[in-house]
Structure 1
Amino acid sequence: MNLRQSLARIRKFQEQYGLNLVQGDATYVYLNLSQVRAELLSIDLLEYLEFAQLGDIESVLSLAGLYTGDLLAHNEPQNSDFDEWLDVQRVKLRDDLITTLLRMVNQPVGVSIDEKRQCARKLIEIDPYQEVGYRTLMQTASQLGLIAKVERTFRECAKKLRDDLDVDPEEETIELYQKLLPKLSPATTRALILPQPAPPLVANGVEIQTPQSILATTQLEQNKRAGLPRVMVLYMPHNAADPMEQLAASLVDDITIGLCRLRTLSVVAPYTSKRVVSESPIDSFEGLNAQFGVNYAVDSKIVRRDGFCFLSVKLVDVATQEIVWAEKQKFDYVLPEQQYRQLSIRIILSVVSVIEKSELDRYNKLYQDPNAYYWYLIGKKEIDKFDLPKLHQSRQAFKNALTASPDFVPALSGIARTMQKEWLMRARSEKDILLEGEQIAKRAAPADPDDERPLRELGTISMYLGKFDDSLEYFDQGESINPQHADLLADYADALNHYGYLELSFEKIEQAIALNPLAPDYYYWVGAGTLHDLDRYSEAIDFIQRMQNPRVAARPMAACWAMLGEKEKAFECRDQALEDNPNFRIDDWIKGMCLRVPEQRQKYEDSLREAGFQ
């Protein structure tokens, strides 16, 4: 197409839409900016050049927002002089912006932490090998107390450089990482950069890869190295349908979560404890050490005598079977908060020798209203059931708790969680309920800065709203408060998957499983999804088969079998999935997927189509 033809097409386009931007005569073609000056039209390049002349941080952030890629990125090269000119202009715009962003992240005053973080992210987006951007993110994360983000950023930097360029990070980056995490030795840092694979196993002449779960460094291993005593809290019900037993079980479950906050203990998550009780009769506790590394068992049960209920609690040294502490508390609906506080403090004092006074004070004051606490336990009992009426009952119980105590953080967090669960159950329709849940969680977070639960809900809701950076920030903060909350780590792993940090996601779900060895199916669902996205289909299938109810994961199972070429198994799983959800359509499902990386969504769609889904 020659210039005359191009001008004719432009003229026709402008007449169709009432524009008068490009004009020409017998000699020149030029821009008529009168409509731009009248704000009837906007040209992003002109805006960009205006902001570039100003140089202040607000203008630089505007530049970062306007720069979405190379100049005229969709222009198809024709091996012309124009193409050579365009290449020069693209490089100049790009390099000028990188220079401007570097100036901002290195500016000692006049630029806030949040502004530096925005500039650093844009710097990495434009030049993913620009280590100054990673170092800025590490420094600002450390200033905000987000230690997990420091490590994640360093790992991301090291992996990018290793995968693409086969080089290590600069010494300055490594030294900064060691400075921000002073407990790490140089050898440990090097291991993060270049992890050493374990020697392969060989059976019948065939090499067997060591499962990643064996190779990964987990919170549990760190606790072992620190010599932390490991505790399992067990509740032995006589009649699981008894409302009093259910209330006691919820109370004991909450005690376990409370113990997890203490950095001087390693605590087995409640779900594993429940399965230990339900799946095998416990005559003695000696097997708990071999299977779960437990040093102490808290044996709790309801005892009835003379018309009264008592909560019997014993702390048992697993190695010697010695009861090192025992207590029997009157237990009823009137003062559950009082029993909770006394029981919690007694267990803590029995297991650890020294506890920071501030932690004890906060723990002692956490639940101030017995009526609120009762309603909270009632709501908590129903919250994990995928049943809308039960979910509404749970929300109402939490609201009753707030009537008694308006700023009761666990109840506020509970309401937010019911809202994001209801959104999922309603097939990810309108997002009003998510936005309402977000506001409630934001109200809860400042009320108790030492409670990670509101941050967990904010992280999950932000993920579903597509605010991926915010989601990871919330989970970073939550993990820094309670690094042993297994359910939070599982949700964190899901958020990392949605962001596209697949390796880190799998590491995080392994940490969650290490803390909760008899994990709920949700953990394996998250892990299997991440393994699928990593093209590790056989391992994903193994994860699904570890679920108590693997049928609920028939759809991802079908996708994995299909990618392995096992079409018969894939179609069998597809038929199961469609039998349970006959209205499933790929296009509808894909629309509701909140994934930052489009290729990840495309990979899942391709797998499903390969498995025969429509």
Structure 2
Amino acid sequence: MLGQTEQIPIRLLGVPRWNASAQAYFPAKGLVLIAALLLAPGETLTRQAAAALLWENASQERALGNLRQLLLRLQQASGTEEPAILVNKNDIVAGPLAHRSDLAQFLLSIRSGEMEQQREGLLAVSGELLENIDVSGEQFYLWLVSERHRLKSLFFATFAQLLEDTTRFGGRAALSIASIGDRALRLEPDREETYRNLMSAYARTGDHEASERVFESLGRWLQSEGRPHEPATLALRRRLKGYVADNDSFNLPVEQPSRVKPRVAFVQPTSFDGKPATVVVRAFIEDVANTLVRYRTFTVLSSYSSFAATSDGNGELYKSLRADYQVRTTVFDDMRLSIVLLEESSGEIVWSLEVVLNERQIHAAFRLLSKQVAAALAERVERRQIENDRHHDSSAYLHFLSGQQLIRGKCDLPLLRRARAEFRKALDLDPSMAVARARIAQTLQLEWLMLGGSDPHLLHRANAEAKVSTEIDPALGIGHWMCAVVALYQRHFDISAEKFIEAEALAPNSADLLIQHADALAHFGQQEEAWTRFQSAIDLNPLAPDIYWWAGASIAMKREEYSTAVELCSRMENDESALRILTVSHSLNGDLEMAKQYGRRLQENYPEMTARQLSLLSPNRDPAVNEKFYQAYRLAGIK
């Protein structure tokens, strides 16, 4: 790693030091010469230019003589295997050892465009160029001031861009923010723009407390200096406070049931032909029952007794359980489980769910699904106890339906915002409408995507809405589906995969969910499974809206079937949302003329986004996929 003294033989940023050998003393002018070479065009200076910079007040003959002695000292100190400088007739060039200095590594990292290299480059900066160096001569002073200003400008421009790129998707990056922020504040402690950069970065990750701490730290500094905040800082804080207020509005009061605790009995699971289920299924149902014992609003009878009671032929033992609800499990082929919740007094099916426990999924999904089924059962039993006291406004449902009609799989920004307004109206009338919360999350996530992924606050709001939706109704598949989608775009791949499993268990035949899960699997690197789910979704929705064809084209592109990707895009009513797919697919398919046409349209929509930023919009687990997309954008003429 950069920034570690033992691996940086020459330090030119901060107090200059020569660590390349055990030599006790090294001439300061030698370090100045190395810095000047690294900062010169082509890393080359003529002997005359170097001598004039270092010995401005000496005659040319004496200055050149001093330079010859200095070059000899440098060559002796660094050796011949890895010299600090190279002398070529009248020119002096930076050598391999100079390229291992902190200054060279910083300049190299800035040019690389790679976030990790840039972060390491910033961490290598321990101060200004050649701190505490003896300044003699006007020419040297002007050169030093100019180069310090240039390097600072490079540092802070890279610092601001790196913070934005690191937190663009709202993921957690607190350690990275803190480390490079510390370097920036050490370099220029009174630069208020640095504090604003840090406040915004923490807010983009959702850590508003850290953002506020940065503001308070700035306030203490300004107070000690007797200065007020800049207007831009106060305006930024007001805007960030607005995001906090939005998130606070998601904390809903929890209804507290006050009725007598109902008793829930799990009957022994059976196959559809009436035979006892396998040991695995029995263990799964027992796990669900055991998970439910933590709930205080109802009582779960021991599965040992309830299983034994249901095997009693005349039913007398079961009657002795005095159950209010019965959970019945039927097993079909391929380990497909149908779980229903029955009210004993009426025989009414209150709730039902299908779960698939196949060998491929069981290791990862067994515990997860048991928790989800338990949570859904608990929510339904609790809701059953209080729903008689709850008033639902029918007009709220009408607003919800209006919102659904506006989106209907279309990728249109004005329609998304109108739909969100309808869902908000539904929530104003009925705050417990979980599905409206989930749909708001969907509109926010789609808006984030259509705006080029530049506003992580939209993702945070989408995540908050989706989580509240699952808290209101844990059995609602779309809530878990939206949690999964947001986690995917925040690069939390494992969380996303788990949430998609939960959502699919709750809504196994939802075409909308299948298409989103298919898209996610492609991002996880499971292209064949993704394509299978895409085909299943189209089978359920053959006259599909644009978003289905967009997802299918994205999957085909990742399978390197570029002609198929282009053909699927042609089925869309409006190809604006597919411009990235079309640009990359044509480019990688060798049709550069078409790629450049779509690339120009893409740049018109996102004029400030580079090829690198466009490639990073796709949340792929494998970075090599993004690198391929980056090269495709470059071939299409995007810089």
Name the TM-score class by shorter chain.
Answer: 0.3 to 0.5
TM-score, length basis structure 1: 0.41
- Work out which of the two has the higher radius of gyration on C-alpha atoms and give 1 or 2: 2
